[in-house]
Structure 1
Amino acid sequence: MAYGTIEERYDDAIAQRMLGYSNTMPGLPAYLGIKLVRFAPGVLSAEADLAAQELTPSGNVHGGAIAAILDHVTGAVVYPLIPDGHWGATTELKLNYVAPVTRGVLRVDASVLAITNRSAVVRAEAFQAERLVAAAQGTIAIVAPRAADSRVLA
């Protein structure tokens, strides 16, 4: 089934649900202070409020924290473009660290470069105080929901 252009695929209802949910996300997104800020067709702006727990002994944010934030945002940008109930799984993520990151707000802008029914290629850039600090490009697999596995015990 073909879905057309990014604009034709875009479901604002899914985007709005995700924006509302982003303030209450559990787990790693909450730990890293990730908040989804604004969606547009194929585009997502997000922020992460980096705190002391992400710092290395040298006083900079650990690269793994930056990678996790970029991974999260590059995956999230595809959700309003895929059928409700499907999910995205990162199959590849390449990062370039451009400058050190310190405590405070990190802004991430992600955009879908290409999308099919099975995968998407996404680019993201991370900024702190309007300075580019990291860039990423990833491939996101688009996974359809599966019927309940009959082998699972109730």
Structure 2
Amino acid sequence: MKSPHEMSGLELLRAAVAGQHPRSSMAETMSMSFVEADFGRVKMLARADNRHLNPLGGVHGGFAATVLDSVTGCAVHSTLEAGDGYGTIDLQVKMLRPVPRDQELVAEAHTVHVSRNIATSEGTLKSADGKLLATATATCFLKRK
């Protein structure tokens, strides 16, 4: 198998979907896994558990923000060539409902605009039955090889 630096973003994400590439430590921490990857579009599953609670016992807002940062960033990554990199420079998250604990959640994102140096994407986090929990818009800088 090629190293991640030798793969396009889409190749790397599709390898992750197929289970041919190990999950990142962040994906382990946040209980996230890829289920679909296409050019400019990514779908992930996530599950909040006891590690993600705030002091009052609810799922911390940082859980939704992190999942949405991951899925919006990966949507951008899916458009990049091998050796190109990216990083989030702005993430705007709107929390709409409490995130449930110990339930499968669906995170989806798509790119809105990709230029030479900047890309934007939008994402949603929903419950398994389709209730909208949070939305996000992200801006990423692009580091071309």
> Given the superposition, is the C-alpha separation of residues 11 and 35 from structure 1 closer, same or farther in structure 2, using an over 3 Å criterion?
closer
Q: Residues 113 and 11 (structure 1 numbering): CA distance in 2 closer, same or farther, change over 3 Å?
A: same
CA distance in 1 between partners of 2:86 and 2:133 (Å): 25
Q: CA deviation at 1:117?
A: 1.8
Conserved 8 A contact 1:24-1:30:
no
Q: Higher Cα Rg: structure 1 or 2?
A: 1
Distance 1:78 1:107, change over 3 A: same
70 and 11 in structure 1: CA distance in 2 versus 1, 3 angstrom threshold: closer
Aligned residue in 2 for 1:112:
111
Is the Cα contact below 8 Å between 1:70 and 1:124 reproduced in 2?
A: yes
Which residue, 11, 27, 30 being the options, matches 1:29?
27
Aligned-pair identity in percent equals 22
Structure 1 residue 116: deviation in Å? 0.8
Q: TM-score, normalised by structure 2?
A: 0.83
Q: Equivalent residue of 2:69, what SS?
A: helix
2:98 is paired with a residue whose SS is: coil
> Which amino acid is 2:14 matched to?
Q
Report which stretch shifted further, 87-96 or 35-44.
35-44
Q: In 2, distance between residues paired with 1:76 and 1:22? A: 17
Q: Which amino acid in structure 2 is aligned with residue 122 of structure 1?
A: S
1:17–1:23 Cα change, 3 Å: closer
* 1:59–1:102 CA contact under 8 A, matched in 2: no
- Write the deviation string for residues 64-87 of structure 1: whole angstroms up to 9, x where unpaired: 111111111111112221111111
- Alignment-mate amino acid for residue 26 of structure 1: S
CA contact (8 A) 1:48 1:69 kept: yes
Hey, what's the Cα distance between the residues in 1 that align with 2:21 and 2:53? 23
Q: How many residues align?
A: 136
1:122 is aligned to 121
Listed as ranges, the gaps of 5+ residues in structure 2 are 1-7
Aligned-pair CA distance for 1:22: 8.3
8 Å CA contact 1:93–1:138 kept in 2: the answer is: yes
The residue that corresponds to 1:90 in the other structure is 88
